[in-house]
């Protein structure tokens, strides 16, 4: 008799495209939906939501040597240390507490409670073998926790509370929050006793470069705790710190109003994302460097498309696609929420027919608030934003962003057009979903919504502003149809020029895109738009000339770069009136390429001239 096939690890879910949809309402209510938001869940909302849902829905296998469980064990030992009388908080007490926890961790009762007596690597072991892991476990806890004595002398620390809980307090302008604060100390600050928030991390501190690029989730956690303590105890802490106990270092967290407001804004955005995905039952995937550690990596369509595989650094490989048992449904299938049938995403996708809307939908990381320095509204201004970091080339056919129906109909106005025909009123948008997300400047989108802080948003919104200004200056009506047509014309010039100098690649957030937009501004000033034309042929001709002129401005700059500091103006004949220039003396012969190359200063690399 054939054995029955094993039950899939996940039921009530399915793949729809690269999204994981949850078709069982009970899974949403009991396993995914949160009544309050924690700092860790807030961080997860900016990452891959497929991974977040998978980790919550998969059966949990206990592994005492997993990074998270070792961290929890080390926290428990340190919590007991700081709950002891101050004079007794020594390394000897740390060792005693570690041994006590070790006996509980590797007890017979715990062994018997494990399914099939699974050991640290997920395989059955005998009890004697199980107990032998104690020494290894102790050394790991020592490695992760003992260097806290290099950060401070625990005997001199005045502890108000360890593992201070907060649940249901409202912060960040109306978001219910929950969590546990590792430690709240009392210190003398400017002559007064004040609270100080301390969080313990067994992981590594981010470098300044990573903090700037990927965000400061550790700092955000402290700032969330700051607001929680103020709401819970009625007094704001004076300071906040992260102790990296594995490395014996500490970091002071900025608690300025600007930093706090940024974190609050991010926290509100995360709560909105959480509510949206748990209502819709649809969890988008985001590929990245951590895909290899995701428990669903072997089944994830997005990971497969990006060539991501399970990391070979994992002690226990993640489940196979067969073991997970997640079916695939049509890409237009709908998921279910917990209370009401799932309402489809608010809008048909805007087609990629026009360059202005063909915006690459790249994954995102945690949002960031605008800094005090505001980018100019005109993207062609001299103080245009700095170019984005180098990014991967956009796909040949860029994904598109879902827009609400009311916004997507701007190019086809009829009698019922409500798109502000004269630019003096307020367009009517009936959809309640937010149009934009907030994130890092180099992240074009977050969970399918255009990141308002991105270089891409600066480019596309700034371009529509320029189109609007040109329409008003020409005395033409400013409405959805005229704005879209002129914006698309300008965008096509930018797209064509950028592809010609980037071997077919195009990104709105590329640094060269900013330079090309600046060149287009000069083109518009020197090649007036054909407002008096009576046929479309004149506009087609203008477009061809504009593409050529804009490209000239960009590629001739390479000649200037190659000259380095050897620039010498020896002839001005080309600047004279045509009649005079024809009879002007012949200019001195141009040096041969070898001579120019020899004159190029050392350290100034030459760049290939464009065709």
Q: Are 22 and 32 in contact (CB under 8 A)?
A: yes
- Which of helix, strand or coil describes residue 17? coil
**pLDDT at residue 336 in the model:** 47
In the numeric block, which tokens belong to residue 368?
A: 């960031």
Is the pLDDT score of 458 beyond 80? yes
Which range, of 164-178, 348-362, 363-377, 579-593, averages the lowest pLDDT?
348-362
Give the number of other CB atoms < 10 A from CB of residue 392. 9
Is the pLDDT score of 389 beyond 70? no
**pLDDT at residue 314 in the model:** 80
**pLDDT at residue 428 in the model:** 39
| Residues 363, 264: Cα–Cα separation, whole Å | 22
Is the pLDDT score of 192 beyond 60? yes
**pLDDT at residue 393 in the model:** 40
| Residues 250, 201: Cα–Cα separation, whole Å | 10
| Residues 279, 34: Cα–Cα separation, whole Å | 11
Which range, of 98-112, 331-345, 394-408, 473-487, averages the lowest pLDDT?
394-408
* Rounded to 5°, angle at Cα 464 from 458 and 470: 130
**pLDDT at residue 338 in the model:** 44
Confidence band for 559, pLDDT divided at 50, 70 and 90: confident
Is the pLDDT score of 383 beyond 50? no
Of 86, 77, 135, nearest to 106 by C-alpha is: 135
**pLDDT at residue 353 in the model:** 28
| Residues 399, 395: Cα–Cα separation, whole Å | 8
**pLDDT at residue 408 in the model:** 34
**pLDDT at residue 384 in the model:** 38
**pLDDT at residue 120 in the model:** 52
- Which of helix, strand or coil describes residue 424? coil
| Residues 64, 328: Cα–Cα separation, whole Å | 34
Q: What are phi and psi of 116, to 5 degrees?
A: 60, 25
Most confident of 53-67, 79-93, 507-521: 79-93
The more confidently predicted of residues 418 and 128 is 128
């Amino acid at each position: 008799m054939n054995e029955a096939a094993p039950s899939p690890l996940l039921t009530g879910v399915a793949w729809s495209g690269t999204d994981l949809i949850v078709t069982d309402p009970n899974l949403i209510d009991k396993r995914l939906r949160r009544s309050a938001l924690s700092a860790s869940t807030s961080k997860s909302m900016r990452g891959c939501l497929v991974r977040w849902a998978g980790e919550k829905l998969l059966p949990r296998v206990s592994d005492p040597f997993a990074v998270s469980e070792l961290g929890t064990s080390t926290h428990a030992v340190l919590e007991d240390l700081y709950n002891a009388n101050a004079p007794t908080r020594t390394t000897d007490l740390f060792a005693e507490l570690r041994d006590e926890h070790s006996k509980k961790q590797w007890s017979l009762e715990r062994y018997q409670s494990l399914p099939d007596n699974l050991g640290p690597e997920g395989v059955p072991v005998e009890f004697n073998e199980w107990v032998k892991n104690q020494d290894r476990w102790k050394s790991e806890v020592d490695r992760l926790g003992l260097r806290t004595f290099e950060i401070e002398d625990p005997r001199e620390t005045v502890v108000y509370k360890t593992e201070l809980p907060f649940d249901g307090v409202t912060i960040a302008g109306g978001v219910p929050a929950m969590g546990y604060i590792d430690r709240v100390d009392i210190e003398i600050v400017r002559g007064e006793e004040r609270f100080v928030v301390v969080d313990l991390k067994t992981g590594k501190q981010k470098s300044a470069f990573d903090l700037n690029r990927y965000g400061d989730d550790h700092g955000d956690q402290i700032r969330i705790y700051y607001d929680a303590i103020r709401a819970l105890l009625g007094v704001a802490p004076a300071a906040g710190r992260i102790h990296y106990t594995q490395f014996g270092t500490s970091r002071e967290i900025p608690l300025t109003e600007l930093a706090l407001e940024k974190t609050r804004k991010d926290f509100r955005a995360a709560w909105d994302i959480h509510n949206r995905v748990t209502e819709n039952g649809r969890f988008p995937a985001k590929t990245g460097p951590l895909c290899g550690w995701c428990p669903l990596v072997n089944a994830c369509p997005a990971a497969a498309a990006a060539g991501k595989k399970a990391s070979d650094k994992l002690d226990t490989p993640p489940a196979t696609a067969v073991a997970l048992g997640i079916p695939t449904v049509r890409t237009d299938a709908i998921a279910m929420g917990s209370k009401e049938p799932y309402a489809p995403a608010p809008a048909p996708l805007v087609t990629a027919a026009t360059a202005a809307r063909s915006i690459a939908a790249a994954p995102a990381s945690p949002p960031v608030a605008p800094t005090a320095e505001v980018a100019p509204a005109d993207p062609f201004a001299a103080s245009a934003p700095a170019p984005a970091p180098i990014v991967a080339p956009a796909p040949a056919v860029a994904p598109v962003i879902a827009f609400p129906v009311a916004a997507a109909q701007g190019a086809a106005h009829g009698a019922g057009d409500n798109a502000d025909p004269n630019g003096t009123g307020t367009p009517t948008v009936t959809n309640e979903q937010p149009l934009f997300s907030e994130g890092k400047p180099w992240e074009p989108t977050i969970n399918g919504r255009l990141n308002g802080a991105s270089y891409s948003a600066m480019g596309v919104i700034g371009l529509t502003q320029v189109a609007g200004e040109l329409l008003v200056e020409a005395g033409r009506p400013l409405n959805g149809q005229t704005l879209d047509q002129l914006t698309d014309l300008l965008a096509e010039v930018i797209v064509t020029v950028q592809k010609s100098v980037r071997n077919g690649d195009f990104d709105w957030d590329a640094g060269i895109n900013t330079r090309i937009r600046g060149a287009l501004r000069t083109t518009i000033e020197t090649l007036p738009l054909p407002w008096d034309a009576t046929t479309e042929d004149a506009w087609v001709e203008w477009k061809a000339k504009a593409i050529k002129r804009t490209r000239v401005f960009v590629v001739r700059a390479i000649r200037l770069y190659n000259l380095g500091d050897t620039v010498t103006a020896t002839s001005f004949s080309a600047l004279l009136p045509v009649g005079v220039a024809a009879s002007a003396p012949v200019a001195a012969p141009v040096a041969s390429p070898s001579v120019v190359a020899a004159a190029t200063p050392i350290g100034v690399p030459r760049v290939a001239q464009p065709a």
